[in-house]
Amino acid sequence: MKTLFLHRFHELKQVSVLTLLCICLLGLRMKITHDFFMLFLIWNLFLAFIPYVMVVRLRFRESVSKTNLILTFIVWLAFLPNAPYLVTDLIHIRHASASWIVYESLLILSFSTTGLFLGFLSLRDMTQLLSEKGWLSSIKQKALFQNIVLILCGYGIYLGRVLRWNTWDIIQHPEKLFKDMVDLFLHPFSNQEAWLMISSMSFFLMVTFNLFKNYNEPTKITSQA
């Protein structure tokens, strides 16, 4: 538990630094321009924190029941696409004037990077929780689980960015949401652009998550005499 706490403390410092960077860049922009358009980034970042906080809460418990883990997993999976969704906020750079385009890019990239980091941390921890329960017993099973989750995130990002559905609509408008989801599978050729976005986003997430994993699990190098 002590090791977990120390590791988590270091992780929280990293998350705090990234979040502070986002807030400072956004605050400075609003101070200079008196334009509050980009405030939606705060809400999007808040949504990205939800799956991360849900998993951290479980990691600090001595034991987690299977029922609790399953229920948490369902809600976690529904909210997880909100984390990498921040990457798509890059489309708002088109509204920036020529003199502000670099700053706007850095601003949105800071939120995007933080969202990705939070999403990858929560996916790593959820994998660990499921592994501790014996549900993911091999490296191949873990990798398969992670890739499936990231593909679902790519799918969820399309539903949110293009079709403008959000997580709450799972409860508020389940029939309409389900209809749009099924339509993509029933008419794949008439939704080629949709599948292009879903596949490219999924591939991007899988590649960047693997880079994240390699960074957090460096290969040990032994020196030879």
Q: What is the pLDDT of residues 97-147, one digit of tens each?
A: 899 999 999 999 999 999 999 999 999 999 999 999 999 989 999 999 999
pTM of the model: 0.90
In the chain, how many domains are there? 1
pLDDT of amino acid 150 = 98
Within-domain flag for 225: no
Within-domain flag for 165: yes
Domain that holds residue 146: 2-216
Residues 6+ apart with CB under 8 A from 128: 59
Helix residue ranges per DSSP H, the chain: 2-33, 40-59, 66-79, 82-85, 101-132, 139-161, 169-172, 174-186, 192-216
Q: What is the pLDDT of residues 34-53, one digit of tens each?
A: 999 999 999 999 999 999 99
Within-domain flag for 224: no
Give the C-alpha separation, 71 to 200, whole Å: 30
